Amino acid sequence: MYCICCKQDKVKPYDPINVSNLTEEEMLWRKEVFDEKTLDVTNSMVNDGIIHIIDAGYGSKHDGDRIILAVCDECISKNLEDATLLYYSNYMSWPGQEDEVEKSKRLYRRRKNLDNLT
């Protein structure tokens, strides 16, 4: 799938044991129920980045729309450094996570303050 930042086809849904034999397109729009949980690209493995389904909330011109987007690992790293992307947490609770959150907050405040000056 194409990265929304660099526009290159770098991010790939990944089926490690190739059980499903699905094409990339089929994996992107997959919606299966397994043990009362919906399996889709958001909770699947991905190579070289993130693929996620985002929901447009109230107030957007796209209210209620669900959009599939991808960001490659390289662009994630670059955009975390300038606070275009913000670090929220690590769901696996790795040590040092609080430092990353605080770093992201500092970068965000700095960028917002610089934007307000210009």
Count: domains in the chain? 2
| Domain boundaries, position 30 | 1-72
Q: Are both 64 and 91 inside the same structural domain?
A: no
Q: Are both 13 and 64 inside the same structural domain?
A: yes
Q: Let me know if residue 77 belongs to a domain.
A: no
Q: Are both 57 and 88 inside the same structural domain?
A: no
- Band (19; pLDDT cuts 50, 70, 90): low
Give the angle 20-7-88 at the CA atoms, nearest 5°. Answer: 75
Q: Are both 68 and 105 inside the same structural domain?
A: no
pLDDT for 70 equals 98
Q: Are both 23 and 48 inside the same structural domain?
A: yes
Q: What is the mean pLDDT of the chain?
A: 91
Question: pLDDT per residue over 37-83, tens digit each?
Answer: 888 999 989 999 999 999 999 999 999 999 999 999 999 999 999 99
pLDDT for 24 equals 92
Q: Let me know if residue 31 belongs to a domain.
A: yes
- pTM of the prediction? 0.83
pLDDT for 10 equals 97
Q: Are both 63 and 97 inside the same structural domain?
A: no
Question: pLDDT per residue over 86-100, tens digit each?
Answer: 999 888 877 767 889
Q: Are both 51 and 21 inside the same structural domain?
A: yes
DSSP string, 9-61: B--EEE-TT--S---HHHHHS--EEETTEEE-GGGSEEESEEEEEEE--TTST
Q: Are both 12 and 65 inside the same structural domain?
A: yes
